[in-house]
């Protein structure tokens, strides 16, 4: 049973790592906005990044009774939400810097 669950657990952990990395990228973008003198963008970006980090950190492990009944969609949707928030943070930063130049 343990051998059958190993790939399932690794897949779950890889989605969680992807979510965590995306949220950290958003936090770096928020810090960059603050350092570039864009306080409004930095505050909004930091808020979005923190929400993304909480969503990523609270992602439950995939619990399946057997390896045959996999349901990765909830993890994928959470990852998509965090990636979307990170992309929005990066886009806000790019637009704010481009409009100021």
Is residue 15 pLDDT above 80, yes or no?
Answer: no
pTM of the predicted structure, to 2 decimals: 0.69
Kindly give the residue spans of alpha helices, DSSP state H, lying in the chain: 2-35, 39-57, 73-100
Contact (Cβ atoms closer than 8 angstroms) between residue 74 and residue 55 = no
The domain locations on the chain are: 2-100
Share of the chain above pLDDT 70, in %: 73
* Residue 14: CA count within 13 A, CB half-sphere: 7
Mean pLDDT of 77-87: 85
Contact (Cβ atoms closer than 8 angstroms) between residue 8 and residue 67 = yes
What span, in angstroms and rounded, lies between the C-alpha atoms of 90 and 52?
13
- What's the chain's average pLDDT? 77
What span, in angstroms and rounded, lies between the C-alpha atoms of 85 and 24?
11
């Amino acid at each position: 049973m343990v051998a059958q669950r190993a790939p399932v657990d690794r897949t779950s952990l890889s989605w969680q790592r992807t979510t965590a990395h995306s949220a950290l990228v958003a936090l770096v973008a928020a810090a960059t906005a603050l350092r570039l003198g864009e306080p409004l963008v930095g505050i909004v970006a930091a808020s979005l990044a923190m929400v993304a980090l909480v969503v990523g950190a609270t992602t439950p492990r995939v619990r399946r009774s057997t390896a045959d009944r996999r349901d990765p969609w909830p993890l994928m949707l959470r990852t998509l939400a965090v990636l979307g928030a990170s992309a929005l943070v990066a886009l806000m930063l790019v637009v704010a810097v481009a409009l100021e130049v």
